Amino acid sequence: MRYLTFALAKGRLAKKSLEILEQIGIYCEQMKDPDTRKLIFVNEELKLKFFLSKASDVPTYVEYGCADIGIVGKDTILEEGRNLYEVADFGIGRCRMCVAGPKSAKELLNHGQLIRVATKYPHIAKDYFYNTKHQTVEIIKLNGSVELAPIVGLSEVIVDIVETGSTLRENGLDVLEEICPLSARMVVNQVSMKMEQERITDIISKLRKAGLIQSGS
């Protein structure tokens, strides 16, 4: 039997994903060592491999077949736009992708004005403004602390993740429009879905039976 390989987004999401998988008997003892700097782990008995990568690289490893299965946020899946099957919603890491800014910027979103939009998610922002709102905007790519942009005058609004809303609140910004809900999803390589159909559908049905994935996924 060949190894079934999982790509996990390193950090908190990997830990939570493994806790969920463990409940259906998918586990890896090697990964529990908190001090390990290893990136790849094997469960010989179950013929499983797990590797940890940067979240934004998970869809890439899965599309190219280095991993059969990936667990990663919907924000990353949308931004990376890879050819994958999204097969289940883990319902963890729930948050929203939003357009945010000062209240005064709200009217700039209603009149098709050329405004600047700062974001870590240029593809999501572009798709939303161009294809949903039909508003031509200038997208400015940032790498973090995006809330700064409208405060210091880099952009009128931002497109960013809102979880509790406290970063916006503490910086005098508001959610102006909601783009979509986000949570961690399981994605599968398109060839693996055929070649390893039995093992993969077995995992999905066990997750569903145990109530570990959201209904409808």
Q: Are strands 157-162 and 95-101 parallel, antiparallel or unpaired?
A: antiparallel
Residue 166 lies near ligand PRP (rule: CB under 6 A)? yes
Question: Which of these, 210, 97, 205, 199, lies nearest to 157 by C-alpha position?
Answer: 97
Residue 118 lies near ligand PRP (rule: CB under 6 A)? no
Nearer to ligand PRP, 80 or 147 (CB): 147
Of the candidates 18, 72, 137, 161, which one interacts with ligand PRP according to CB under 6 A?
161
Backbone angles phi, psi at 29, to 5 degrees: -60, -40
Q: Are strands 48-53 and 95-101 parallel, antiparallel or unpaired?
A: unpaired
DSSP 3-state of 50: strand
Nearer to ligand PRP, 21 or 142 (CB): 142
Identify the bridge partners of residue 101 per DSSP, sorted by sequence position. Answer: 174
Residue 162 lies near ligand PRP (rule: CB under 6 A)? yes
Q: How many residues bind ligand PRP (CB under 6 A)?
A: 13
Q: Pick out residues in 131-150 that bind ligand PRP (CB under 6 A).
A: 144-147
Residue 164 lies near ligand PRP (rule: CB under 6 A)? yes
Question: Tokens standing for 75?
Answer: 């924000």
- Distance of closest approach, residue 167 Cβ to ligand PRP, in angstroms: 3
Question: Tokens standing for 36?
Answer: 């390990």
Residues that bind ligand PRP (CB under 6 A): 120, 144-147, 160-167
